[in-house]
Structure 1
Amino acid sequence: MKILLVCEHAGDHNGWSQYTRSLHDVLKNKGHDMHVCCIQATTGMKCFPLLKEPLRYLTNPIIPLLSAIKLSQVIREVQPDVIHITVEPYAMTVPFIGKKNIKRTVLTIHGSYGIRPLLQLRTRWLALQYYKKIPSFITVSNYTKDAVSRTLKRKHHSIAQHFSENAHVIHNGIAIPTMPQHSQSNERKEILLVGGIKPRKGVLQAIEACSEFRKLSSTPFHFSIVGTFKEDAYTEQVRNRIYELNLVKNVSVLGVLPESTLKSLYQKTDLYLMPSITTPDTFEGFGLVFLEANAHGIPNIGPETSGAAEAIKEGISGYHVDPDNPKIIAQRMHWILDEGRISPEQCRSYAETRSDKIMIQETERVYSLLVHEK
């Protein structure tokens, strides 16, 4: 099959990029002819770098139209069997690419950006149009599918029905390291969060839990926060809380790290802690980072709601918690760090059931249905 991926880029560590990279690499290895329409070229990919930053498609109504013209030119040149949009805001171009092209389009919905265009007046009409016209959808969790369905029902019942009938739940998958890469530390326990300093990631909640854990346990620990952040009010609140709780020596804000440095950090991490927050329009669609931690033999603690809950198997790969209950989170930290209730072997075995190869097999079935119906 000839497949055109419409994405931001595949060279970053965010969820959009990881998903696109997995799709591209595994499908290419299986013999599919892969092409990518993106912002900037990525080494090893046949790229058409003509798109703009994703969020601009939700703020400027002219950008979707102009990009649709360029995208249509790429489609004419490539003649793909499937056009797979892997970054939700780029679906704003769909109403302008023509019926023939729409019939071969698949949209993956990861999380919050599946519903935000429906909630904003300036983007709602276009969003309803692409939800009405796209013939096939992939959602990365049941939670994400249900969230989009509920939001659509409030706006347009028949479009909601079309979406529900044509949305396929395919959980995210990851490439499993060929050999175990995790080596537990004997002294100081290492805790990790990858996702930056954002309210949605539950950073403040994780810091409160670390404070409670210190009351509960004498085990020395260090909590590393990795990813982008802005020097805004929330980041200031996080820094102040670290200081107020006397956790300055226990918590580090590391920012964005090179891939090699992050890999080394995973190798010595004992716990992945990300008690993500769920609100009506902001949620974790799945939480690929939980699986990534498991693949390195690291147990998780994550939220009991949102799609992230579907990434964790209770008592096997980690624990579900109420993000706003630091005492319970601290107890689960104690179970993992002090009592060793979840082993690295359990984590890796679970991750192997969620490999990217399984994800790709299910995605190929969606492609086949689309091509057959077209």
Structure 2
Amino acid sequence: MKVCFLTHDIDPKSGWGRYSGEIIKGLERRGIEADILVEEKLTSGSEKAVLKTNLPKFFGFLHMALKVRRLAKRCEIIHAFDAWPYGVIAALANIGLSKKLIINGVGTYSVLPLDSRKTRWILSWAYRRADSVPCISNFTMEEIKKRINLNTLEVITLGVDFEKFNRTEGYKDNLINNRNTIISVGAIKRRKGYHVSLQVISKINEKYPDIKYYIVGNKTEDPLYAKELENIINKHSLSDNVEFFENINDSKLCELYDEANVFMLPSINVEGAFEGFGLVYLEANAKGVPVIGTLGCGAEDAIKDGYSGFLVPQNNIEETAQAVLKILDDKEFALRMSRNAILWAKSNSWDTVIDKYINIYKKLEGDN
């Protein structure tokens, strides 16, 4: 079976690229032939950068759809890894081809265009043309349901490369050596809640003055927000506690996870934008690191509250700090949660995710 995939990129250094790249790679291992169409070619792989145009939005969509259409003729299924813009482009490309169409509901751009009169009509049309709309979290699915009635929705959460990130020992050593390190991984933008986490670090610093906080993400994505974070660091005298890491590879990322006691990413919903899931919570869990995320977003599916970590209210510095201190203050509890985190990550491997996509493909193939 040949599938035409539409996505932004498959670069594992970005959350977007890791999500789509891991699914495609897993499907290829199961015998699926992939034609990968991307907006930006950021790896040395076989993907084709055709999802870009200089034309105005609607004409640009038509232009890209024509390019996709030529390539999709050779495939049985067209699979778009987000609704906007790739799901719309895929649906336009599929007019007259009648290929089976899958549009993933991911996060912000699977929902927010449904709130605009300018874009609601065409995204609603694309969703209704899809044979399957798998969403990466229950939160994303429910947000779509609030805006459009579909009977093709289901939830297939994201996974983790367990073998790559897993460690069986090491977390205990951090506790024995009284190493207190917190890590966050994600794009430097307001939705990730770094302005909240820095204020949490300021509170924890009162009890643990040796606390280290690693932020892994590129400041170039939102320079104004990065500047705001620097101001918070200076205001609370945290320059000795906080360290930024940019453009690192997975080997270095694993090293940083190995040093951490707690993973914290207190995502917030900002003007319709929200955390669709949070792959990084599972990666940290695979390393045995308990995680802290927020309620009211896709992290509710990524974190098993009280087991693999904690879910706290958004924008709540006090409750987030209390959750961190529960782990730092009680080494036996921290070690127990670390073991749980590993089990949780193992139960959410990419192999489990790929099984579910294979089942969708087989069902759609049987419907032909």
Structures share fold, TM-score greater than 0.5: yes
Tell me the amino acid that sits aligned with residue 113 of structure 2.
P
1 CA distance for matches of 2:316 and 2:218? 26
Mapping 1:1-374, distance limit 5 Å: 1-41=1-41, 45-52=45-52, 60-76=57-73, 79-88=74-83, 89-101=85-97, 103-152=99-148, 160=149, 163=150, 165-177=151-163, 180=167, 183-184=170-171, 185=174, 186-215=177-206, 217-218=207-208, 220-230=210-220, 232-279=223-270, 281-340=272-331, 341-343=333-335, 344-374=338-368
Mapped contact 1:317–1:342 kept (Cα < 8 A): no
Identity %: 27
Contact kept? 1:189, 1:219, Cα under 8 Å: no
Following superposition, the deviation at residue 218 of structure 1 comes to 3.0
Distance in 2 (CA, whole Å) between partners of 1:143 and 1:208 is 27
Tell me the distance in 2 between the aligned counterparts of 1:105 and 1:39. Answer: 19
Instruction: Return 358-367 or 116-125, whichever deviates more.
Output: 116-125
Q: What is the aligned-residue RMSD (CA, Å)?
A: 2.2
In structure 2, relative to structure 1, the CA distance for the partners of 1:147 and 1:22 (3 Å cut) is: same
Farther off after superposition, 123-132 or 345-354: 123-132
Distance in 2 between residues matched to 1:188 and 1:219, nearest whole Å: 12
Alignment coverage as a number of residue pairs: 358
Note closer, same or farther for the CA distance 1:199–1:292 as it changes in structure 2 (3 Å cut): same
CA contact (8 A) 1:108 1:138 kept: yes
Report the AA paired with residue 71 of structure 2.
Answer: V
Question: Mean alpha-carbon deviation: is it higher for 313-322 or for 340-349?
Answer: 340-349
Deviation at 1:25, TM superposition (A): 1.5
1: CA distance between counterparts of 2:137 and 2:169? 27
Checking the alignment, whether the CA contact within 8 Å between 2:103 and 2:127 is kept in structure 1 is: no
SS at match of 1:31: coil
**By how many angstroms is 1:95 displaced?**
4.1
Deviation, 1:103, is 4.1
Unmatched runs of 5 consecutive residues or more in structure 1: 153-159
Cα displacement string for residues 6-25 of structure 1 (whole angstroms, at most 9, x for unaligned residues): 11221143232112111121
